[in-house]
A = this chain, B = another copy of it.
Amino acid sequence: METFSCDRPINDMFSIPSLVSWKKRSEPTVVDVSGVKVGGSDIVVIAGPCAIESREQLFETAWAVKTGGGRILRGGAFKPRSSPYNFQGLGEEGLKLLSEISRETGIPVVTEVMDTRQIDLIASYSDMIQIGSRNMQNYPLLKEAGKCRKPVLLKRGMMATIEEFLLAAEYILSQGNEQVILCERGIRTFETSTRNTLDLSAVPMLKHLTHLPVIVDPSHGTGLRWMVPSMACAAVAAGADGLIVEVHFKPEEALCDGHQSLSNEEFISMMSDLDRIALAVNRNISRT
User: Given B170, B221, B236, which contacts A83 in the complex, CB threshold below 8 Å?
Assistant: B170
The reply on A158 being an interface residue by CB < 8 A is: yes
> Contact between B167 and A83 (Cβ–Cβ < 8 Å)?
yes
- CB contacts (< 8 Å) of A116 on chain B: these are 115-117
> Contact between A233 and B224 (Cβ–Cβ < 8 Å)?
no
Contact A201-B190, Cβ < 8 Å, known A80-B139, A84-B171, A159-B157:
no
> Contact between A197 and B203 (Cβ–Cβ < 8 Å)?
no
The reply on A56 being an interface residue by CB < 8 A is: no
Which residue of chain B is the closest to A235 with respect to CB atoms? Answer: B234
**C-alpha spacing A6/B158, complex, angstroms:** 16
- CB contacts (< 8 Å) of A221 on chain B: these are 201
A-B contact pairs, 16 of them (CB 8 A): A3-B17, A3-B86, A4-B14, A6-B259, A10-B192, A81-B139, A134-B139, A159-B159, A189-B190, A197-B197, A200-B234, A201-B221, A204-B226, A233-B281, A237-B238, A277-B277
- CB contacts (< 8 Å) of A3 on chain B: these are 15, 17, 83, 85-86
The reply on A11 being an interface residue by CB < 8 A is: yes
Contact A85-B1, Cβ < 8 Å, known A10-B193, A190-B188:
yes
The reply on A90 being an interface residue by CB < 8 A is: no
- CB contacts (< 8 Å) of A159 on chain B: these are 157-159, 188, 190
The reply on A258 being an interface residue by CB < 8 A is: yes
> Contact between A224 and B187 (Cβ–Cβ < 8 Å)?
no
Q: Give the distance to chain B from A249, nearest Cβ to Cβ, in Å.
A: 18
User: Given B23, B170, B201, B234, which contacts A197 in the complex, CB threshold below 8 Å?
Assistant: B201
Q: Give the distance to chain B from A225, nearest Cβ to Cβ, in Å.
A: 11
Known: A11-B193, A117-B117. 19 other contacts (CB 8 A): A2-B15, A3-B85, A6-B257, A10-B223, A13-B192, A13-B193, A116-B116, A134-B139, A135-B137, A161-B191, A161-B192, A161-B193, A200-B231, A201-B221, A201-B227, A205-B227, A233-B237, A236-B237, A273-B281
Name the residue in A1, A231, A256 with the highest tally of chain B Cβ atoms < 10 Å from its Cβ: A1
Sorted from nearest, which 3 A-B pairs have the closest CB atoms?
A159-B159, A1-B18, A237-B237
Which residue of chain B is the closest to A143 with respect to CB atoms? Answer: B84
Name the residue in A193, A195, A198 with the highest tally of chain B Cβ atoms < 10 Å from its Cβ: A193
